[in-house]
Structure 1
Amino acid sequence: MRTLLSRTWPAVLLGLLLRQTPSSGDEGGCLRAADILSCAGLGLDRPPADAPAWAAVLDLSHNRLTALRAGTFQGLPRLRSVRLAHNRLTAILPGAFRNSSGALLRHLDLSSNKLRAVEVAPFRDLPGLEELLLFDNLLATVERDAVAALAGLRRLYLGHNRLADFPFRAVREHPELVLLDLSWNRLPRLAPEDLTSLPVRLQRALYLHGNPLVCDCDAYRMLRLWELRGYPAVSDFLRDYTCLMYGARGLAVRFLPDFPQLCDSAAVAPQSGEVTVNAGVPALLHCSTALTGEHVTFFWVSPQHEYVAAPGNNGSLSVFANGSLRIAAARAEDSGVYWCMARDAAGRRNETQEVNVTVVTQHAGRDHDTFSTGLTTLLGCAVSLILVLAYLYLPPCRRPPAANEAGSESARSSAAEGPGRDRHVVFVEPPGKRQNGRPRVGGALEGHVGPASLLEPEAHQTQPALVLP
Structure 2
Amino acid sequence: MLPLHRAGALRDSSTFPCLNRGSVRSALYLSLSLTLLWCPGGTVASNLNCHKTCICASNIVSCSKLNLTLVPTGLPLYTAVLDLSYNDITRLKADWTAVKLTKLHNLLLSHNGLHFLSSEAFIYVKYLRYLDLSSNNLRQLDEFIFEPLGQLEVLLLYNNRISQIDRSAFHGLHSLQKLYLSQNLISRFPLELVRDKSRLEKLSLMDVSSNRIKIPPIEDLQVLPAWIKNGLYFHNNPLICDCTLYSLLAQWHIRRLNSALDFKDEYTCNLPGQQKAVVGVFDLNEEYMNCSTFYEADEEAWLEQTLILRCDTRHRDMVKTWVTPRNVVVAEEANQTPRVLPDGSLLISHVKPEDSGTYTCFAVSEALNETLYVMVKVHNFTENGGGETLNTAYTTLVGCLASVVLVLIYLYLTPCRCFCCPKKIHEDSIHSSMLSAAPSHEDLAHKTDPRHVAFIDPRELREGQNGKVNLGGGTRKDVDEEGGLLGKGKRKRSVAESISSVFSDTPIVV
Task: Tell me the TM-score normalized by structure 1.
Answer: 0.51
Deviation at 1:65, TM superposition (A): 0.8
Contact 1:83 1:108 in 2 (8 A): yes
Q: How far apart, in 1, do the equivalents of 2:273 and 2:166 lie?
A: 27
Q: How far apart, in 2, do the equivalents of 1:137 and 1:217 lie?
A: 32
For each residue in 1:175-223, what CA deviation from the matched residue of structure 2 results, as whole angstroms up to 9, or x when unmatched? 1100000010010112211212333221101011100101011011000
CA, structure 1 residues 99+181, in 2 after alignment: closer, same or farther (shift >3 Å)? same
| Structure-to-structure mapping, 1:323-338, within 5 angstroms | none
1:127 equivalenced with 2:154 (yes/no): no
Kindly provide the amino acid, as one letter, of the partner of residue 86 in structure 1: H
Deviation at 1:17, TM superposition (A): 7.0
Name the residue aligned to 2:232.
206
CA, structure 1 residues 127+244, in 2 after alignment: closer, same or farther (shift >3 Å)? same
Contact 1:71 1:98 in 2 (8 A): no
Name the residue aligned to 1:252.
278
Contact 1:57 1:81 in 2 (8 A): yes
SS of residue paired to 1:218? helix
Contact 1:214 1:245 in 2 (8 A): yes
CA, structure 1 residues 51+82, in 2 after alignment: closer, same or farther (shift >3 Å)? same
| Structure-to-structure mapping, 1:306-345, within 5 angstroms | none
Instruction: Extract unaligned runs of 5+ from structure 2.
Output: 1-5, 16-44, 295-510
CA, structure 1 residues 142+263, in 2 after alignment: closer, same or farther (shift >3 Å)? farther
Flag as ranges the 4+ runs of structure 1 deviating above 6 A: none
1:41 equivalenced with 2:65 (yes/no): yes
Contact 1:148 1:170 in 2 (8 A): no
For each residue in 1:41-83, what CA deviation from the matched residue of structure 2 results, as whole angstroms up to 9, or x when unmatched? 0001111012111110000000001111113234222110000
Name the residue aligned to 1:441.
none
1:143 equivalenced with 2:166 (yes/no): yes
Residue 292 (structure 2) aligned to one of 265, 268, 272 = 265
Name the residue aligned to 2:252.
226
Name the residue aligned to 1:400.
none
Q: How far apart, in 2, do the equivalents of 1:266 and 1:23 lie?
A: 62
| Structure-to-structure mapping, 1:69-468, within 5 angstroms | 69-75=93-99, 76-100=101-125, 102=126, 104-173=127-196, 174-246=200-272, 251-261=277-287, 262-266=289-293
Instruction: Extract unaligned runs of 5+ from structure 1.
Output: 1-14, 268-469
Kindly provide the amino acid, as one letter, of the partner of residue 46 in structure 1: L
Identity of aligned residues (%): 36
SS of residue paired to 1:185? coil
SS of residue paired to 1:95? coil
CA, structure 1 residues 164+207, in 2 after alignment: closer, same or farther (shift >3 Å)? same
Kindly provide the amino acid, as one letter, of the partner of residue 64 in structure 2: A
Contact 1:214 1:247 in 2 (8 A): no
Contact 1:131 1:154 in 2 (8 A): yes
Q: How far apart, in 2, do the equivalents of 1:86 and 1:197 lie?
A: 38
Contact 1:253 1:259 in 2 (8 A): no
Name the residue aligned to 1:366.
none
Contact 1:23 1:44 in 2 (8 A): yes
**Is 65-74 or 222-231 further displaced after alignment?**
65-74
Task: Tell me the TM-score normalized by structure 2.
Answer: 0.47
SS of residue paired to 2:227? helix
Q: How far apart, in 1, do the equivalents of 2:283 and 2:92 lie?
A: 46
SS of residue paired to 2:82? strand
Contact 2:163 2:186 in 1 (8 A): yes
Name the residue aligned to 1:32.
56
Q: How far apart, in 2, do the equivalents of 1:247 and 1:41 lie?
A: 49
Contact 2:146 2:171 in 1 (8 A): no
Contact 1:88 1:113 in 2 (8 A): yes
Q: How far apart, in 2, do the equivalents of 1:17 and 1:197 lie?
A: 60
Kindly provide the amino acid, as one letter, of the partner of residue 178 in structure 1: S
Kindly provide the amino acid, as one letter, of the partner of residue 97 in structure 2: F
Kindly provide the amino acid, as one letter, of the partner of residue 82 in structure 1: L
Contact 2:205 2:232 in 1 (8 A): yes
